[in-house]
Amino acid sequence: MTSFRIGRQGEPAPAKTIRFSFDGKDVTGLEGDTIASALLANDIAIVGRSFKYHRPRGVWGAGVEEPNAIVDIDMPSAVRNARATTTPALDGMVVRSVNAHPTAATDRHAFLDRFARFIPSAFYYKTFMWPDWHWFEPNIRKMAGLGILDPTAISVERADQVNEECDLLVIGGGPAGLFAARTASEKGKKVIICDDGFHFGGSLLHRQANIDGGDGPAWIAATLNVLRDRGVQLLARTTAFGLYDHGLVALNEIRPGKASSRLWRVRPTNVLLATGAIERPLPFANNDLPGVMSAEAGLSYLRRHGIAVGRRVVLATNNGVGVETSRELADAGIEVTLVDYRSGRRLMVAEGSKRVAGVKLSDGTRVAADAVLVSGGFTPTLHLFGQAKGKLRWDDDLLTFVAGDPVPRLSAGGAAAGSFGLTGVFESTARALASFGLTPRAMPKIVGRDTDYGIVAAWPEPNMSGRVWIDLQHDVTTKDIELAARENFVSVEHLKRYTTLGMATDQGKTSNLNGLALMAQLTEKAIPEVGTTTYRPPFTPVPFTSLAGVTSGSLMNPPRRLVLENEHFAAGANLREYGGWLRPAWYGAEPEATAINREVRQARDSVALFDASPLGKIEVLGPQAAEFMDFVYYNTMSTLKAGRCRYGFMLSESGIVYDDGVLVRLEENRFIVSCSSSHVPGVYALLEEWRQDRFDRKRLFIHNTTADTATLTVSGPKSRALLEAVGLGIDLGDKNLPHMATAWGSFGDDTVRISRVSFTGDRSYEISIRADRAKHLWKTLRRRGEAFNATLLGLEALMVLRAEKGFIVIGKDSDGMTRPMDLGASAPLAKKTAEFIGKRSLFTEEAQRPDRNQLVGLEVVDGTQPFAIGSHGVESTPAGKRSLGYVTSSYFSATLNRPIALGLIERGAARHGEEIDVQHLGQIRRARLVPPCVFDPSGDRLNG
């Protein structure tokens, strides 16, 4: 082959020259080139190595169907496995071939090809089974693969995402699509038209035509002007890659000069598929040699880029469109030898090493050639029709699948509807538009008759001599399909997975039908009986950046932020995420463990300030509120007096503990559900669900005030003294505000709610205030606190304080099996008469089983190291070791100066005093089972 640039007829002005590198070689192109057209213009025949055998491969096509010309781009931005046929060539680009070591032209793994007969389908899996596939996999993966990912090359440019709707989405901007958009827009419809090429026009950009008195380009320009005037949205370089539920169509738009694409989510009323058709290869020996190309692509490179793919071209075809292509090439002055299968002569072998040098025909004649263009017929592009669950129908005249029974709101026109001549293209488009109730004002006037497609069968056949390639990207030959048939992988889905036919990045756009046709012959079936594989999105690969949009990096799952975050930062807080909230873990520059121990000691000795704002504050109001609270809590809540608080569990209907927390009864008909911070959305949904299911919506209301209100906790022996120094406008004495009471106070002009509840075991006050006024209260607490040796308390130290008291964290000290009785709360089950969520489940055999895992304290018997969380209690039995449950919480307690732990252990509540083995990573330690509370068990400090 000697491809070269001959220039385009009637080109107005010479295009600007661009330079880029391919495998380290300088390449010169023109502005408007694709990478593939520039490589052809420089007579670079080998653009890549095949996936499995490392065969040299050249450019096959000129569009999205390309199986061979897959490249990695390093500059200007990293793109992996880009199709050279659809990627614009840019000045300064750095391009590499894929799967070639070191370059496509000189690949050191090419020796694999000489062993090809020893590497049939599934060879790797069958051969490298022993001793373990995973020993061999890394090297095999390195040899067989495509682009190399660079994990450090992270795109900093986030992709745009656009949501849009329209009356008609036209997919494909060739003659059919442009005509459809024009027709719909003249009826005043809102129309979007997209095309995956740089320019609208489709086949009219390279085939000669006379429409409405002008040539193709003139008709394109006139039509585009009309569309622009009517406000039609024109999206070039945009691929409709997926059709999803409820009529959602996803488009990916490549934007010049941008590293990221733009994702469109379009909800059209109707979709017109004007997606054209893809040319099939012909089966003959060595049909993968560089220089063997799609005839349509050869014509496209000539007319769009002014490139002749060879000086002496053989054009082999089994259809009239291919014959027309040879005529157009000859008109441009290229020497063409036509091999027309319809007159009986066939192409048998392509000859040459590394690139094609000639062909041998069925009548024995040899023809020298530097390019072989082939047209094995056209396959309508119906991927989106398939994705819409449309069924394909075999057409005996066209020898291909076409759209079968119509799918609502979706129609195909043009080549996608099996019309391969211009008159037919417009007629089938008009029929498709009619199904949407749209009639064109006038049909385009065509001069000249449509080419007679007149295709004859030229399928791959069993026992063809030589190596006849079906899937160029995945190196599947006729022999692989024959092997699959012999081994009984005859179902189309098995065939695909066994041979990997159609599984490459091109998804078999050029190969699937030829593969099915061969399998049909091998199994003596008709092609439609073999069937097709399922069409799934995406039609072409879509960058993950497009799909992610802005939801990546720090916006992937944004944490909730405290209103006092800046105050915490200023105080040296180290923030971590807890249950979706970014919260102070500990304060100060000391090492984590030192800081936590200091905070714990100060909290026990003097007073601690803690930001508890994420704590749930869901208000329940109305005359049915008390009855409702009885139903949603395990504990009886209706007996709670106004101004008092009660601790309780919420269960799921399965009787599993879902949440715990304090319920505040502010007034007769007003409660505040103070659920755990991470459960607020879940508890809110649970409350709404039961409210709407079994209560009077006009007499019961739920309002989530969690985000409106900040809660600051003051805990420790000096907490009351500190608050009296601050001044909250009420008597904080134990008589007026005892433990588990709540009252209104004030801070400056603001009303605050003060609850005496404790998660530390020390006297504690939770002060709730309007979130936007919390800063002043926090600053005042800190300033006044200095005199009391107050500490700021992070969440880690709070976890130690609560574990010393045996206070649990649901989801940490409980699991998906834990019932309230397992946590020591059996009284409500025995006493409560009112119905509540999960009640019946607590009376099942499983819930009443005596050998359940129960909450227990675990004292370290052997030394001073805390147990690892997740360590299992174990016991030896004749059958081997058996788990007795596990450690759920484990800390070093600065208060007790020794390690402490909580766990869920079999029959634990009844076994206090016993010792058990605790196992972690093969190491056995000893633990004594003790009550969960190991500090101030009498609770004196609550009032201390």
Partner 1 sequence: MQLFPCPFCGPRSESEFHFGGDFGNLRPEGSDVSASEWSAYLHLRANPKGSSSEVWMHMTCGELFRMDRNTVDNTVNSSAELEDTHR
Radius of gyration of the chain (CA): 38
701 contacts partner 1 (rule: CB under 8 A): no
911 contacts partner 1 (rule: CB under 8 A): no
Contacts of residue 857, Cβ cutoff 8 Å, sequence gap at least 6: 806, 900, 901, 902, 903, 929, 930, 931, 932, 933, 934
Stretch that binds partner 1, among 241-249, 391-399, 543-551, 735-743 (CB under 8 A): 241-249
Least distance from C-beta 636 to partner 1, angstroms? Answer: 17
Stretch that binds partner 1, among 374-382, 421-429, 437-445, 680-688 (CB under 8 A): 680-688
Stretch that binds partner 1, among 24-32, 213-221, 278-286, 692-700 (CB under 8 A): 692-700
Which residue number, 396 or 693, has a Cβ lying nearer to partner 1?
Answer: 693
H-helix or E-strand containing 324? helix 320-331
265 contacts partner 1 (rule: CB under 8 A): yes
693 contacts partner 1 (rule: CB under 8 A): yes
502/379 Cα distance (integer angstroms)? 15
List alpha helices for 400-549, DSSP H.
422-434, 478-486, 492-499, 512-522, 527-530, 544-548
Do 46 and 38 meet the contact criterion of CB atoms below 8 Å apart? no
743/752 Cα distance (integer angstroms)? 9
Chain position carrying tokens 């056949």? 461
176/273 Cα distance (integer angstroms)? 9
529 contacts partner 1 (rule: CB under 8 A): no
CB burial string 272-305: b at 16+ within 10 A, e below: bbbbbbbbbbbbbbbbbbbbbbbbbbbbbbbbbb
List alpha helices for 769-877, DSSP H.
774-785, 795-804, 827-831, 845-848
- Sign for the CA dihedral angle at 333, 90, 51, 25 comes to positive
Least distance from C-beta 667 to partner 1, angstroms? Answer: 23
831 contacts partner 1 (rule: CB under 8 A): no
248 contacts partner 1 (rule: CB under 8 A): yes
Q: Which residues pair with 364 in a beta bridge?
A: none
696 contacts partner 1 (rule: CB under 8 A): yes
25 contacts partner 1 (rule: CB under 8 A): no
Chain position carrying tokens 């078999």? 508
689 contacts partner 1 (rule: CB under 8 A): yes
Which residue number, 547 or 726, has a Cβ lying nearer to partner 1?
Answer: 547
How many CB atoms lie under 10 A from the CB of residue 351? 17
694 contacts partner 1 (rule: CB under 8 A): yes
User: How many CA atoms lie less than 13 Å away from 483 in the CB half-sphere?
Assistant: 17
* Residue 101, SS3 per DSSP: coil
Contacting residue, 31, 215, 577, 688, with partner 1 by CB under 8 A: 688
- Whole-Å CA distances, 98 to 22, 71, 76, 502, 602: 11, 6, 18, 19, 63
Stretch that binds partner 1, among 98-106, 557-565, 681-689, 818-826 (CB under 8 A): 681-689
245 contacts partner 1 (rule: CB under 8 A): yes
Contacts of residue 135, Cβ cutoff 8 Å, sequence gap at least 6: 128
Least distance from C-beta 192 to partner 1, angstroms? Answer: 18
Do 187 and 436 meet the contact criterion of CB atoms below 8 Å apart? no
Least distance from C-beta 133 to partner 1, angstroms? Answer: 37
Which residue number, 515 or 828, has a Cβ lying nearer to partner 1?
Answer: 828
Which residue number, 519 or 683, has a Cβ lying nearer to partner 1?
Answer: 683
Which residue number, 685 or 861, has a Cβ lying nearer to partner 1?
Answer: 685
Which residue number, 26 or 845, has a Cβ lying nearer to partner 1?
Answer: 845
Q: For 174, list phi and psi in degrees, rounded to 5.
A: -85, -165
Least distance from C-beta 242 to partner 1, angstroms? Answer: 11
Contacting residue, 228, 697, 849, 912, with partner 1 by CB under 8 A: 697
244 contacts partner 1 (rule: CB under 8 A): yes
Least distance from C-beta 516 to partner 1, angstroms? Answer: 27
246 contacts partner 1 (rule: CB under 8 A): yes
Kindly state the number of chain residues that form the binding site for partner 1, as judged by CB under 8 A.
24
835 contacts partner 1 (rule: CB under 8 A): yes
Least distance from C-beta 532 to partner 1, angstroms? Answer: 20
Contacting residue, 140, 642, 685, 910, with partner 1 by CB under 8 A: 685
695 contacts partner 1 (rule: CB under 8 A): yes
Q: For 308, list phi and psi in degrees, rounded to 5.
A: -90, 130
Burial of 228 (0-12, 13-18, 19+ CB in 10 A): exposed
| Structure-block tokens of residue 399 | 């020898």
Do 168 and 269 meet the contact criterion of CB atoms below 8 Å apart? yes
Which residue number, 653 or 875, has a Cβ lying nearer to partner 1?
Answer: 653
Contacting residue, 365, 692, 736, 751, with partner 1 by CB under 8 A: 692
Which residue number, 848 or 943, has a Cβ lying nearer to partner 1?
Answer: 848
- Whole-Å CA distances, 833 to 590, 636, 690, 839, 842: 53, 9, 19, 10, 14
Residues of span 380-399 touching partner 1 by CB under 8 A: 389
Residue closest to 536 by CA, chosen among 507, 516, 513: 507
Stretch that binds partner 1, among 316-324, 530-538, 592-600, 687-695 (CB under 8 A): 687-695
Which residue number, 389 or 486, has a Cβ lying nearer to partner 1?
Answer: 389
How are strands ordered across the β-sheet holding 709-715? 742-747, 750-755, 764-770, 709-715, 607-611, 790-792
Residues of span 646-665 touching partner 1 by CB under 8 A: 653-654
Least distance from C-beta 552 to partner 1, angstroms? Answer: 17
- The amino acid present at 168, given as its one-letter code, is L
Least distance from C-beta 583 to partner 1, angstroms? Answer: 24
Least distance from C-beta 414 to partner 1, angstroms? Answer: 27
Least distance from C-beta 701 to partner 1, angstroms? Answer: 11
269 contacts partner 1 (rule: CB under 8 A): no
Positions in the binding site for partner 1 (CB under 8 A): 244-246, 248, 265, 267, 389, 653-654, 684-685, 688-689, 692-697, 835, 840-841, 844-845
